[in-house]
Amino acid sequence: MTAPLHHPALDLPGIAHGWFTREGGVSEGSLASLNCGFGSGDDVARVAENRSRTLVALDLAPDRLCAAYQTHSARAVTVEASWAPDDAPEADALVTTRPGLALGVLTADCAPVLLADPAARIVAAAHAGWKGALSGIVEAAVEAMEQAGGARERIVAIIGPCIGCASYEVGPEFPAPFLARDSADADLFAAGQAGYFYFDLEGYVARRLGRLGLARVEALGLDTCVDAARFFSYRRASRAGEPGCGRLLSAIALRETD
């Protein structure tokens, strides 16, 4: 099992976290090998084994992963207990104060954000694609952490691997809703050919987080689309005509004992 990626700001006592790559699993073909997405067309048993391996790598019980049915929304839910995959709630951010529960988000170009208030012992995970980021998913995650007893001035938020600006070409119509919300975000769109643009998703998510007054906001700065050896990428798979695309898991948890 390949060790997940870490960020030192989340290497804190009592917290387990990691952004898993596509390496170290049992899936095959274009989904090789650590595909953690049940909706990817992969064999269910293989996905279950891959998910179990990620929890073991985090030194957590393999049946304690909480991953929502993601819909690119701005809905955050507070998690009290784990669930079966078929019972997953519709949400794009998960928050908990319960030790031993691993909050997971699945991505294949969207931005996975892991958050923690170590003093209040509250953690969260958010799935921030452009739709969710625009509609307020990171704000919803922070608000849910506050409702659970957290304080934004203590919250650390780290953005994991996602599609990079140079890989993310968008159409002429794409910037309008972003600029209607805040014209200052125009610098996150680089001009391309024939009226197209390149969008800095990581930069946009970081900016939305930065406006919340958190203790620390950083990003791993890794482009999923260009690194086929380590990351799944929906855009890259689509361009290559692959039959399916795997999903990367990012997870964070409070340890039961430390």
Query: Looking at residue 247, which CATH number applies to its domain?
Result: 3.60.140.10
pLDDT of residue 183: 98
The answer to whether residue 138 sits within a structural domain is: yes
Gap between the Cα atoms of 80 and 55, Å rounded = 18
Share of the chain above pLDDT 70, in %: 99
Stretch (H or E) spanning 15:
strand 15-19
How far does Cα 106 stand from its chain's mean position?
6
Summarize the confidence of residues 165-175 as an average pLDDT: 98
Gap between the Cα atoms of 205 and 137, Å rounded = 9
Summarize the confidence of residues 180-208 as an average pLDDT: 98
Q: How many domains, in total, are found in the chain?
A: 2
Instruction: Tell me, yes or no, whether 129 and 220 share the same domain.
Output: yes
> How many residues does this entry show for the chain?
258
Instruction: Tell me, yes or no, whether 39 and 92 share the same domain.
Output: yes
- Mode of pairing for the β-strands spanning 65-67 and 156-159: unpaired
pLDDT of residue 2: 75
Structure token pair of residue 205:
């998510």
The answer to whether residue 225 sits within a structural domain is: yes
Instruction: Tell me, yes or no, whether 35 and 146 share the same domain.
Output: yes
**Per-residue pLDDT tens over the stretch 78-117:** 999 999 999 999 999 999 999 999 999 999 999 999 999 9
Gap between the Cα atoms of 25 and 35, Å rounded = 7
Instruction: Tell me, yes or no, whether 90 and 129 share the same domain.
Output: yes
The CA dihedral of 235, 68, 145, 205, to the nearest 10 degrees, is: 10
Structural domain of 56 = 8-164+214-254
The answer to whether residue 207 sits within a structural domain is: no
222 pLDDT exceeds 70?
Answer: yes
CA distances from 195 to 50, 136, 170, 173 (A): 42, 27, 9, 9
**DSSP state letter for 211:** T
